[in-house]
Structure 1
């Protein structure tokens, strides 16, 4: 007798993290990840690190995007970042 859990086949795919910041910076290597949830988590961690590295230059530097795409071309998500400091004098 089976215990109620459906057998789920694991799907590993190469995920590309393309950056658009005034110019296109395509990911030509990719990262092998298990599923879309793993790809979104990796995008969150990576973009957080990128923002940390930018430091103060992140603010008022315009909008940039990280496009998360499966190697076969299927779009998973797009993260869009804009940081603006509002002068409240």
Structure 2
């Protein structure tokens, strides 16, 4: 499981975590974002770079500095997905 919350496998997490604990982790993620350290570091460095760029007169957006997150945002239509999977 992600960051060993509840155990190292999904089966262990289902066995060890109560419904209340799962809701607590969901609320935590909604408030603070992902638990993935790499993405959190990427976001922090992107914010610093973005602020530095803006002070210097740059026009780039925050997401321009978050390459790892941009790769995860690939969106395809339902028809394209069906074609790819068949």
Q: TM-score, normalised by structure 2?
A: 0.32
- Which entry has the higher C-alpha Rg, 1 or 2? 2
Relative contact order: is structure 1 or structure 2 higher (C-alpha 8 Å, sep ≥ 6)? 1
Q: TM-score, normalised by structure 1?
A: 0.31
Higher strand share: 1
